[in-house]
Amino acid sequence: MSPLHPTIRHITIDCAGDPYDLARFWSELLGRPLSDDDKPGDPEALIEGFEGGPGLLFVRVGEGKVTKNRLHFDLRPTGRTRAEEVARAIGLGARRLADHTRPDGTGWVTLADPEGNEFCVERGELD
């Protein structure tokens, strides 16, 4: 008999502001819906899981982000270039932290979401 292992149900992201607002940013960026139960001002907001994977749960906490994230997302654009995806993310409210694009096109761009959480945009399928 094989051992039973837990599954990751949610990846939880702390936020000092309105969890709904931060979840809305990620919902737009990732093209995933917010839970129908969530409203502005709620103490948490959920983006439903990806094809059976974990959801993203945004939870209000009393303190703001102070140091670099210990975990972050690496995103690979689908149907657009890295530059197009970076521009789209910035248009949604992200800010550019660093560009690590190499002359050969490999590398990534580091961005921060509206709460300052870092994430990277890698080379896209059209690059």
Q: For residues 33 and 97, is the Cβ–Cβ distance under 8 A? A: no
Q: For residues 111 and 120, is the Cβ–Cβ distance under 8 A? A: yes
Q: For residues 124 and 76, is the Cβ–Cβ distance under 8 A? A: yes
pTM for the predicted model, two decimal places: 0.91
Burial of residue 13 (CB within 10 Å: 0-12, 13-18, 19+) is: buried
pLDDT in tens, 1-49: 667 888 899 999 999 999 999 999 999 999 999 999 999 999 999 998 8
Q: Using CA atoms, how far apart are residues 13 and 87, in angstroms rounded to an integer?
A: 23
* Mean pLDDT in residue range 74-88: 96
